[in-house]
């Protein structure tokens, strides 16, 4: 049986639990050379208005391993920075969807 104070603390918080296969975690996907840098953006760091968000490409939180590692939920914005031979660094944004 749970102590009432600790049980109330556990149930009052919004917890997210993610399950991963062990094979996916043997080598961390973010450490691979070909995987670009992914960053979850805070609401105040998003560089465009809310009306433009519907036009962003999608990243699916239950299919993409980076989305799962970052703990993205629907409507979160992720900034992806990758090297580009022509411009040096290419930055793109994606919106998380179910």
pLDDT tens digits along 58-86: 999 888 888 888 889 899 999 999 999 99
**Model's pTM, two decimal places?**
0.72
In the chain, the domains with their CATH numbers are: 4-97 (3.90.940.20)
Q: Does 24 have pLDDT greater than 90?
A: no
C-alpha Rg value of the chain to the nearest Å = 17
Q: Does 95 have pLDDT greater than 90?
A: yes
């Amino acid at each position: 049986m749970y102590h009432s104070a600790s049980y109330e603390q556990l149930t009052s918080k919004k917890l997210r639990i993610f399950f991963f296969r062990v094979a996916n975690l043997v080598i961390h996907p973010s450490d691979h050379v070909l995987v670009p840098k992914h960053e979850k953006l805070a609401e105040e760091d998003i560089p465009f208005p809310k009306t433009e968000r519907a036009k962003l490409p999608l990243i699916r939180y239950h299919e993409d391993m980076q989305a799962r590692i970052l703990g993205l939920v629907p409507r979160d914005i992720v900034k992806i920075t990758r090297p580009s031979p022509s411009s040096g660094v290419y930055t793109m944004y994606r919106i998380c969807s179910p």
